[in-house]
Structure 1
Amino acid sequence: MNRRHLLPLALAALLLTSGCAGFFGGGSVSAEQLDEDPPSPYVWSSDVDAHITITEDAQFQAVYALDDSSMELFRRDGFGGRNAIPVSAVRYRYPNGTVISGTELVARGGSVNRSRERVSVTLPDDAPADGGGQLAFTSSSTPKRFSLPTFVNGSYAVVLPPNRRIAVFPFGQASPGGYEVEAEGDRRIVRWESVETDAISVQFYLQRDLLIFGAAAAVLVAVGIGGGFYYKRRIEALRRRREELGLDVETGDDEFGDDPPPGMG
């Protein structure tokens, strides 16, 4: 094959395998995913615009109050781009309280389509024209850290898994600032009255993690002290040995008084 044909073919292959050509990684989310049961019932009757519950198996359940007829779901990568997030157990709640499944949403004229960059959700034809109602879905998270773009502005509540805390920095922290933490049984809820940043994140820990870290730190300190004491004794023993061999005999400044050194008089 002529060399001049290799570069265009290689470029085309790169575009196709990376998904940039748009032919792969798209399409509708399957009916099985749309109609899965959520890990626990969604919290529809909250007083916030976004209610997110993080589960112990590195998943989260989100309920968003909508102010538009569509929503795009994604995560940002480290290069400023976007990647679609996996979604399942999709539900839409009309302003009158009626809840429909993801397949019903599609059957009523809505859509849930996935591309490489985003999952695009369009509300049913009979939803309010200017948005309204609530959209809920389940997706994956990471252990001990939750981070997601702010798909809607307003008030947020993030419910941590049982026995997780964020009180001790740097093991626990949340962004943006200005949040409050309240207790609800064995769980903690991180609340923001108003979020206008591009993303929120919460890093948390199990209470036993602090005990494990404290024990490990104590062992390291003990080893350090013991090692320092051991080397100090070795240095002192070496100094005494050198003195016994006459290697550390110091000469006083007045050993010869005012007379010149021997042989120089």
Structure 2
Amino acid sequence: MNRRLLLALAALVLLVATSGCLGFFGDDEIPPDRLDGNVTGEYNWDADADVSINVSERATYQAVYRFEGEELSLYRSDGLGTENPLHVEAVRYRYPNGTVINGTTLIERGGTIEEQRDAVLVEPPADAPDGQAGQLAFTGQSTPKHFSLPTFVKGSYEIVLPEDRRVDVPLLSSTRPNPDRESVEDGRVHLYWDDVQRDAISVRFYLERDLYIFGGILGVSALVALVGGLYYRRRITELRRQREELGLDVDTSDDSGRRRPPGM
């Protein structure tokens, strides 16, 4: 009996471990075709901010992080607060001297890009100079009209929204935290934060045409309410007139001055 119990427990532990719930055997390598995939456009290596994020119309984004240290942990939290590894592809690393290498070369040079149970762990190549910040760039997946990501690096941020997207109407958009400044360049909104210390940054935006659709809906709703109000007011007026014609609106609220009938 004890032997069967031990075998059952061992099987249970093995099942949980292989599913990644305990983190055993949880590390995995990102496939080379995803790790070194092609970049749509170019990464913004020369941005003034510590973190530059370019959000595209295809619900993807390109992020460039300036970091100096031993490692960078990339993750995303779900609705229950559980941390999961961030989906990354087309990884690039830029040395302080401007040399750019792909993810596979970074690993070959002693760096690390490892998808663990709860995060993607990135370490710079072994030949990266000490005391100087390199840059890590990758492409990730977002959602339409909403970008949200933990702040893996504290400092200044720049987020560029897709063309014709705006954040001016509170009912249709929001930013957390509020940006320090905003500009529009070539039809694209640029949001700037001088020093982000919060755990996450989030931007909800809208298409300019959404504003016209929203305004049209409000206009139609207001017109329907106005027509309905006029209709019911007219009906009330007609009913009141009919009651008066039938003599149903006789005021009997004050008859204290009248004499009582005989016998009362």
TM-score, length-normalised on structure 2? 0.88
Report the counterpart of residue 30 of structure 1 in structure 2.
31
> What are the within-5 Å matches in structure 2 for residues 1-265 of structure 1?
19-22=20-23, 26-129=27-130, 132-251=133-252, 253-254=254-255, 257-264=257-264
Which amino acid is 1:224 matched to? Answer: A
Which amino acid is 1:47 matched to? Answer: D
Where 2:91 maps in the other structure, the secondary structure is strand
Deviation at 1:170, TM superposition (A): 2.8
**Number of paired residues?**
259
Q: Deviations over 1:66-117 (max 9, x none)?
A: 1212111111223332122210000000111110001111111222121342
Distance 2:26 2:236 in 1: 67
Distance 1:21 1:38 in 2: 35
Question: Do the aligned residues in 1 keep the contact of 2:159 with 2:192 (CA within 8 Å)?
Answer: yes
Question: Do the aligned residues in 2 keep the contact of 1:95 with 1:133 (CA within 8 Å)?
Answer: yes
Q: Deviations over 1:181-238 (max 9, x none)?
A: 0121111110111111111111211111111100110000000111111122222222
Where 1:139 maps in the other structure, the secondary structure is strand
Question: Do the aligned residues in 2 keep the contact of 1:181 with 1:191 (CA within 8 Å)?
Answer: yes
Which amino acid is 1:259 matched to? Answer: R
Distance 2:238 2:143 in 1: 54
Go from structure 1 to structure 2 and tell me whether the alpha carbon gap of 1:252 and 1:66 turns closer, same or farther (over 3 Å shift).
closer
Question: Do the aligned residues in 1 keep the contact of 2:73 with 2:122 (CA within 8 Å)?
Answer: yes
Mind listing any 5+ residue stretches in structure 1 that lack a counterpart? Answer: none
Which amino acid is 1:94 matched to? Answer: Y
TM-score, length-normalised on structure 1? 0.87
Mind listing any 5+ residue stretches in structure 2 that lack a counterpart? Answer: none
Where 2:98 maps in the other structure, the secondary structure is coil
Where 1:211 maps in the other structure, the secondary structure is helix
Question: Do the aligned residues in 2 keep the contact of 1:106 with 1:124 (CA within 8 Å)?
Answer: yes
Distance 2:226 2:237 in 1: 17
Go from structure 1 to structure 2 and tell me whether the alpha carbon gap of 1:130 and 1:8 turns closer, same or farther (over 3 Å shift).
farther
Where 1:80 maps in the other structure, the secondary structure is coil
Question: Do the aligned residues in 1 keep the contact of 2:96 with 2:132 (CA within 8 Å)?
Answer: no
Farther off after superposition, 164-173 or 35-44: 164-173
Identity in percent: 50
Question: Do the aligned residues in 2 keep the contact of 1:92 with 1:136 (CA within 8 Å)?
Answer: yes
State the Cα RMSD in Å: 2.7
Where 1:182 maps in the other structure, the secondary structure is strand
Go from structure 1 to structure 2 and tell me whether the alpha carbon gap of 1:215 and 1:78 turns closer, same or farther (over 3 Å shift).
same
